[in-house]
A = this chain, B = another copy of it.
Amino acid sequence: MGGNTESPDAEAERLSTPYAGGWIGGTHHFALRVYFEDTDVAGIVYYANYLKFMERARSDMLRSAGIDQRGVLEAGEGVYVVAEADIKYRRPARLDDELVVLSEVREVRAASCLIHQRVMRGRELLADATITAAFLSAEGRPKRQPREWLEAFERLKREREK
């Protein structure tokens, strides 16, 4: 890019801001790098850690859709939990790999939604999962999602189907 033309303050600001993903059409993109903590002695990413990558992507997706999980949790109004995860591991990821998690809202119901997620390394599909996320009350019972959330999910689903 012909040299860093940013001011020192802009650079400090950029470095101090965690990565945030975003939408391209109805698909949410979330990039991450593989660190030592993610790998195991077989030299590849430990299988449970793909679910961590996918949760980071879903949390970012909710945040970018204006949904404040921490606020709702702290107010005792409820929490999203995963009710089912069906994940296929196709190729292993390795230390230092740059991955992107692609997420799409597939179905929206009163108290849950279905999200499809793919972990990509460039054009290679490493893993993909169908996740059912259910909204639960503080007592752990299925609960209707806040109306604004339902509307946000419906909007994201329509965006994808365009």
Of B8, B46, B79, B88, the residue contacting A42 (CB under 8 A) is B79
Q: How many residues in A have their beta carbons less than 8 Å from beta carbons of B?
A: 57
* Chain B positions within 8 Å of A3 at CB level: none
A18 touches B32 (CB 8 A): yes
If over half of A's interface residues share one DSSP class (helix, strand or loop), that class is named, otherwise mixed; here it is mixed
Chain B residue at minimal CB-CB distance from A130: B86
B43 touches A48 (CB 8 A): no
Q: Give this chain's copy count.
A: 4
A152 within 8 A of B: no
Of B11, B40, B70, the residue contacting A37 (CB under 8 A) is B40
Within 8 A of B (CB), among A59-117: 59, 63, 69-70, 73, 79, 81-89, 91-92, 94-96, 98-100
Chain B residue at minimal CB-CB distance from A8: B24
A83 touches B88 (CB 8 A): yes
In the docked arrangement, what's the CA distance between A36 and B40, Å? 6
A89/B100 contact (C-beta < 8 A), A22-B11, A36-B46, A46-B36 known: no
B37 touches A39 (CB 8 A): no
* Chain B positions within 8 Å of A85 at CB level: 47, 85-87, 89
Residues of A in contact with B (beta carbons under 8 Å apart): 8, 11-12, 15-19, 21-22, 24, 29-33, 35-37, 39-44, 46-49, 51-52, 55-56, 59, 63, 69-70, 73, 79, 81-89, 91-92, 94-96, 98-100, 140
